[in-house]
Amino acid sequence: MIRKVFSQFFNGVFLITKEHNMPVTVILGTQWGDEGKGKGADFLAENADIVARFQGGPNAGHTIIIDGQKTVLHQVPSGILQPRPLCILGGGMVINPITLCQEIAALDKQGVQNIRGRLHIARNAHLILPLHRDRDARMEKSHAIGTTGRGIGPAYTDKISRLGFRAGDILSPLFKQKTRLRVDDYLKSIDEKEDALVLAEFFSACEDLRPFVSDTVDLIHSALADNKLVLAEGAQGTLLDIDHGTYPFVTSSNTTIGGACTGLGIPARAITRVIGIIKAYTTRVGNGPFPTELLDETGALLQKRGDERGATTGRDRRCGWLDLPAIKYAVKVNGLTEAWLTKLDILDTLSEIQVCTEYFADGFCAKASGVINCLETVTPSYVTVQGWEQEIRGTHKFEDLPQAAQNYVRFIEQRIGVPITQVGTGPDRTDNINR
């Protein structure tokens, strides 16, 4: 009896200890996407056992540059260029089988090792059908969000409507038949028929993806039980979150911290580190409010120096000053434990830099959380800080930055209340300062 109680006690302690050590790190965007999450995730992936995308789909474009060689990942997690980690496309994602196969083929061609042994697709991840892209394009005509046109919204709509198909369905003998019925229904619902909905290529890609469909929840939980490091990689950014962003000018998934739990099947308490990526200024692709947008030559300069062109659609990104009320909102919503500041080097040529420190609405100071639904009505108030007018590209030590650049980093850090532990000084994998 005593032995039994003892063993239960020790089992209990053991379990608690294991749960407390569950080391999930989440990396996510704090702005409107394109903050440099891909580069950050690749950096962290060196020591990770699993890298898992938890939401979004091929609307993402995550850039990694290694010794000048550029790779843009859309659906495959940014851990794939490191030799070791398993890479998971999580259940919160919407996956386009055709473009995923193309992405895998391109990585193969590039010489990336052991993709087949390392890549796993969650059974509950939803599939983007050709009809979703068609519907995305049609909706843009009447309701312009400026989407990436990748079928994201319609695929998530079908998921929520319980009409979707999931990666696990590929394994079912009824998959093709059910999909064809769905497409027939869709064709009946639209006026002009298009022949772009041919399913042969889609089915062929689904066949190719069969071996990748796995029990990813178990893969992740087994890793956590062994105290391995799991990295959850976000796409888009906090202000594009379907619930917390600048609705309706948002994407159709939860880009914020909760998305990591639902999108991967992990408990909230497994997350021990939350890294928010902040670009040293602000960019946005697509429509919607942008309080600090610069429509002048400074905006054009940021666009040009920052090479601010969408990694997915090639559209020019809108550019503006850093928006601290928005970042503070992202700090709160996501519970950031730290922040990484990227693209500091893009500000090198400026003699003065403006930073938005407050919003005013109806003459009163407003928090982003209070005006997120009407951000177009706020007037930003700025503090001017000194520029450094000196090249910092490739700098590796914080002390080697010009004083004004150090001050800029410290100024942001003080205002947002979380430490900035990495500063990006160039696009290459190694262009970082770790503090």
How many residues touch ligand IMO under the rule CB under 6 A: the total is 24
User: Are 377 and 371 in contact, with CB atoms under 8 Å apart?
Assistant: yes
Q: 166 CB contacts (<8 Å, ≥6 apart)?
A: 123, 124, 125, 126, 127
* Among the listed residues 36, 61, 77, 427, the single contact to Mg ion using CB under 5 A: 61
42 touches ligand IMO by CB under 6 A: no
398 Ramachandran zone, left/alpha/beta (phi>0; psi -120 to 50): alpha
Site for ligand IMO in 124-183 (CB under 6 A): 145-148, 150, 152-153
Q: Quick one: tokens of 200? A: 């042969």
335 touches ligand IMO by CB under 6 A: no
Instruction: Give the nearer residue to ligand GDP in terms of CB position, either 313 or 377.
Output: 313
33 touches ligand IMO by CB under 6 A: yes
Q: At its nearest, how many Å lie between ligand IMO and the CB of residue 178?
A: 25
Q: Quick one: tokens of 395? A: 């700098």
280 touches Mg ion by CB under 5 A: no
Question: What gap in Å lies between CA 35 and CA 58, rounded to an integer?
Answer: 17
Site for ligand IMO in 212-251 (CB under 6 A): 235-237, 240, 251
- The entry of Mg ion, ligand IMO, ligand GDP, none near residue 380 (CB within 5 to 8 angstroms by kind) is none
Instruction: Give the nearer residue to Mg ion in terms of CB position, either 61 or 265.
Output: 61
412 touches ligand IMO by CB under 6 A: no
User: Are 320 and 292 in contact, with CB atoms under 8 Å apart?
Assistant: yes
**Among candidate residues 287, 205, 305, the one with its CA nearest the CA of residue 250:** 287
Q: At its nearest, how many Å lie between Mg ion and the CB of residue 203?
A: 30
61 touches ligand IMO by CB under 6 A: yes
User: Are 310 and 373 in contact, with CB atoms under 8 Å apart?
Assistant: no
Residue identified by tokens 């060196």 is 46
* Among the listed residues 24, 26, 30, 34, the single contact to ligand IMO using CB under 6 A: 34
Q: Is 62 a catalytic residue?
A: yes
**Among candidate residues 320, 269, 315, 267, the one with its CA nearest the CA of residue 293:** 320
Instruction: Give the nearer residue to ligand IMO in terms of CB position, either 236 or 425.
Output: 236
Instruction: Give the nearer residue to ligand IMO in terms of CB position, either 97 or 154.
Output: 154
34 touches Mg ion by CB under 5 A: yes
* Among the listed residues 164, 286, 325, 380, the single contact to ligand IMO using CB under 6 A: 286
Instruction: Give the nearer residue to Mg ion in terms of CB position, either 242 or 401.
Output: 242
Which H or E run includes 427? Answer: none
Question: What gap in Å lies between CA 86 and CA 413, rounded to an integer?
Answer: 33
Catalytic residue among 49, 62, 132, 428: 62
Q: What are phi and psi of 340, to 5 degrees?
A: -115, 130
**Among candidate residues 181, 203, 158, the one with its CA nearest the CA of residue 57:** 158
* Residues with active-site annotation: 34, 62
> Interface with Mg ion by CB under 5 A: which residues?
34, 61, 311
